[in-house]
Structure 1
Amino acid sequence: MREFQPEARSDDPVREICRHAAEHDFDLICLAERKRSRAGKALFGSVTQDVRLSEDRPVLVCGDGSADSSAA
């Protein structure tokens, strides 16, 4: 099993996640997701959803299922 290191980048998050995964030839991308209302998704978008739609490699999505009250 390989170790992982979290990284912070300042560019577009979807592009950076996909680029980093390709650069390191990852087998899997694992992302956390928080539940948002439809209005919250429309206003703020979803990085997780965009990565899922952009990637050919598997994307594992995990989260606690709690709603983000600030997105309502």
Structure 2
Amino acid sequence: MTIEGKLALPVENVRFTRNIADALIQLMRLSNFYALDLQQAWTDLLEEGYASLNNETIVAIMKATIRQNQERRALD
């Protein structure tokens, strides 16, 4: 949020990459604790995503969302 200017902290105090890595480690620990198969979950997620790309309604919604986000950024 600091990098995007939404949080008032000096950018040099942000350890963005480190924080993401920490979150990833915590997710891996949780998945191990609950015996979750993250690799299979990732594969399933990708397959669902590819399947939804064949759905014209979903593709239209995604395009509209991207367009709205681009318009908002242009106004900022």
TM-score by length of 1: 0.25
Which structure is larger by alpha-carbon Rg, 1 or 2?
2
TM-score by length of 2: 0.24
Higher percent of residues as strand: 1
